[in-house]
Amino acid sequence: MTATTDGSTGAVTPRAASASQPIDTTAAPAGARDAAARALQRSTEFLLSRQDAQGWWKGDLETNVTMDAEDLLLRQFLGIRDEHTTRAAALFIRGEQREDGTWATFYGGPGELSTTIEAYVALRLAGDRPEDAHMARASAWIRGQGGIAASRVFTRIWLALFGWWKWDDLPELPPELIYFPSWVPLNIYDFGCWARQTIVPLTIVSAKRPVRPAPFALDELHIDASDPRPATPLASVASWDGVFQRLDKALHVYHKVAPRRLREAAMNSAARWIIERQENDGCWGGIQPPAVYSIIALHLLGYDLEHPVLKAGLASLDRFAVWREDGARMIEACQSPVWDTCLATIALADAGLPADHPQLVKAADWMLGEQVVRPGDWSVRRPELTPGGWAFEFHNDNYPDIDDTAEVALALRRVAHPDKERVDNAIERGVRWTLGMQSKNGAWAAFDVDNTSPFPNRLPFCDFGEVIDPPSADVTAHVVEMLAVEGRSHDPRTRRGIAWLLAEQEPTGAWFGRWGVNYVYGTGSVVPALITAGLPASHPAIRRAVSWLESVQNDDGGWGEDLRSYRDRGWAGRGTSTASQTAWALLALLSAGERDATSVERAVTWLARTQRADGSWDEPYFTGTGFPWDFSINYHLYRQVFPLTALGRYVNGEPFADGPGRVPKGG
């Protein structure tokens, strides 16, 4: 079913349509504008019909099966695994296995060792036998890649919990880290917020070294089960790797002689830190991994499963589960309602929905209620800064982020809310907080200020994903755009951000995308921001960006970029066309004044041609990132909001075409 809207009332009425096939455009008007207008209407109706009654939007946040495997391992460790949950998780995990027996971390990606190991172990828990064909293919591939010994540290930690790996053969992480002041290297605030929320509970796990009875052996996943330890040669003492390897050896010695009272006090301090950061709904930071490790850590310290902290934590994990029609159960690593809602609001405003439309007003009401007005961990480095940001999730008052704050402010400016003073005050508070979170190089990171220490990434423990939060071009661009719309284009702080962006442009003309894939996302974020801030479309940086985008446009008219571009720049701008990435390129080209270009017409035609009958788009490819390459995300709403934004700007013009700081009529 799809829906049409009554613009006078905001009501929706169902209209039958098939969502299984793309629209037949053979009888459509020949012009790209007519095709865009038709696609725009259908997409608007689709998105309006997906709004929650409370005012928010949220698409599924799909990652990889390690979330599902670790959920089962947690339940096994706590003794609460049940058959219903196990069957549902196993159904999903089996469905994600590739023909060669492996599991990947993103759609169409290569098999990944640690992911395949964790998926294999989860299916063993579910009763799948090593001799089953799909399991035999997986174990043979795992051995061919070096077996468990070649997997990442986090995978071997999970295996150590059941005696499948030795704690002595894992890097050490002492709980005494909790006592390091913020000026000492490797203090917990040197880590990005997502890493620190995980590392603090893992210091307790590392100190306790628990082992639960293994329900089966995993000899088939070793090259040599009699001696599975990895052979890691010591690097030169003159290198950083050599220094940190020797530091880890020293910490293993310290583990054996650590003063008992000091260690217990450190673990108790870490536990207090964890409990103080539990959100009202029981989660930690609105993301699944810290919740899992926090529950294990507190349980090891004697908190039983009926304790209010653990009971709420376990209940929060259930809210990360997405149950599918076939009975499969997928675990989301996180949920993105604030991000999805502000992007949906911008998209609908660009599509031409009246600024006082009831559904936009309801969305604005919900976003206003989500503003974070108390200090969080960011205040360690900005203790005098007044709170005022927005977070990504339903519940995450400890870690508002700069990206969401910028986009929420942009979204609120597009709505004619009846309480204008409330909106103005909320945006002003968000602007002040954002300006206060500027890093010393003039740019902005996602969560923290100057979180750029080179040391955390050197730790042997940190062999997976980003563990620091340096400024990025995409976040900085969104902030610059927001500040320009707020009339602050000439603020010295905005100009510093612009200067940083110009200096960060790649020789090709593109910009790196930290939180979206990759150069198409970075370029699609930066160009509209620079234009909104007052750079002319004739500026050399803008022309280089336009040239690069046009040079990587696919033959079908769309744009795509594979995640391999994070490891190999030869993949930059290369990949199967997707709706979200095509929209990002379009947003850049439209803002640069290329509305009549052939490249734009071809892209608009591609979007119209590939739209489904219900107004949506298919997009199995992952175009979002948690950690570049290591942890990829398919935001299921990206395929809806970004094409709608791009089509809206193609049909209706740029939202701030009258000049920076000028809000569109009605907004």
Q: In what order do the strands lie in the sheet with 61-62?
A: 61-62, 631-635, 624-627
Q: Which two tokens stand for residue 80?
A: 């609460």
Read off the CATH number of the domain in which 614 is found: 1.50.10.20
pLDDT value at residue 23: 39
The sign of the torsion formed by the CA atoms of 322, 328, 329, 333 equals: negative
310 and 389 in a common domain: no
DSSP state of 307: S
DSSP state of 633: E
Q: How far apart are CA 218 and CA 258, in angstroms?
A: 32
Cβ pair 482, 433 in contact under 8 A: no
Residue 49: partners with Cβ closer than 8 Å, 6 or more residues away: 2, 3, 12
For the chain, how far is it from start to end, CA to CA, in angstroms? 31
The sign of the torsion formed by the CA atoms of 234, 240, 241, 247 equals: positive
The sign of the torsion formed by the CA atoms of 444, 447, 451, 452 equals: negative
475 and 443 in a common domain: yes
Q: Whose CA is closest to 624, among 545, 549, 566, 571?
A: 566
Per-residue HEC secondary structure of 227-261 comes to: CCCCCCCCCCCCCHHHHHHHHHHHHHHHHHHCCHH
Half-sphere exposure of 221 (CA within 13 A, CB side): 24
205 and 133 in a common domain: yes
The sign of the torsion formed by the CA atoms of 552, 556, 558, 560 equals: negative
Predicted TM-score (pTM) of the model is 0.92
Q: What are phi and psi of 80, to 5 degrees?
A: -120, 15
Q: How far apart are CA 387 and CA 400, in angstroms?
A: 9
Cβ pair 596, 604 in contact under 8 A: no
380 and 279 in a common domain: no
Query: Residue 7 domain-assigned?
Result: no
Secondary structure of residue 400 in the 3-state scheme: coil
Torsion of CA 425, 429, 431, 434, to 10 degrees: -160
540 and 506 in a common domain: yes
pLDDT value at residue 231: 63
Rg (CA), the chain: 25
47 and 137 in a common domain: no
Query: Residue 528 domain-assigned?
Result: yes
Q: What are phi and psi of 329, to 5 degrees?
A: -125, 115
What domain count does the chain have?
2
Domain boundary (331, 356, 385) is at 331
Q: Whose CA is closest to 390, among 449, 446, 334?
A: 446
Q: How far apart are CA 444 and CA 481, in angstroms?
A: 13
122 and 42 in a common domain: no
What is the enclosing helix (H) or strand (E) of 117? helix 113-125
Q: How long a stretch of residues is the chain?
A: 667
Cβ pair 1, 14 in contact under 8 A: yes
Query: Residue 21 domain-assigned?
Result: no
Q: Which two tokens stand for residue 495?
A: 């100009």
Q: What's the distance, CA 151 to chain centroid?
A: 23
Query: Residue 56 domain-assigned?
Result: yes
347 and 431 in a common domain: yes
Residue with tokens 């190999």: 568
pLDDT value at residue 658: 57
Q: Which of 340, 377, 401, 403 is catalytic?
A: 403
pLDDT value at residue 27: 34
Amino acid at 50: R
pLDDT value at residue 654: 86
Domain boundary (312, 331, 350) is at 331
Domain boundary (277, 307, 331) is at 331
Query: Residue 339 domain-assigned?
Result: yes
* pLDDT average per 10 residues of sequence, the chain (667 residues): 32 31 40 93 98 98 97 97 97 97 96 98 98 98 96 96 96 96 93 95 97 96 80 74 84 93 97 96 93 97 96 95 95 97 98 97 98 96 97 95 98 97 98 98 98 90 87 98 97 98 98 98 98 97 98 98 96 98 98 96 97 97 95 97 98 74 39
DSSP state of 515: S
Q: How far apart are CA 283 and CA 275, in angstroms?
A: 10
Buried b / exposed e across 500-536, counting CB within 10 Å, b at 16+? Answer: bbeebbbebbbbbbbbbbbbbbbbbbbbbbbbbbbbe
245 and 326 in a common domain: yes
280 and 150 in a common domain: yes
Query: Residue 568 domain-assigned?
Result: yes
Question: Residue 243 belongs to what domain range?
Answer: 64-331
Query: Residue 530 domain-assigned?
Result: yes
Q: How far apart are CA 586 and CA 646, in angstroms?
A: 6
Residue 265 CB burial class (10 angstroms; 0-12, 13-18, ≥19): middle
Residue with tokens 């005050």: 425
339 and 322 in a common domain: no
What is the enclosing helix (H) or strand (E) of 645? helix 638-652
pLDDT value at residue 26: 37
Query: Residue 275 domain-assigned?
Result: yes
Q: Which two tokens stand for residue 329?
A: 């159960």
545 and 598 in a common domain: yes
Secondary structure of residue 14 in the 3-state scheme: strand
- Is 304 a known active-site residue? no
pLDDT value at residue 657: 63
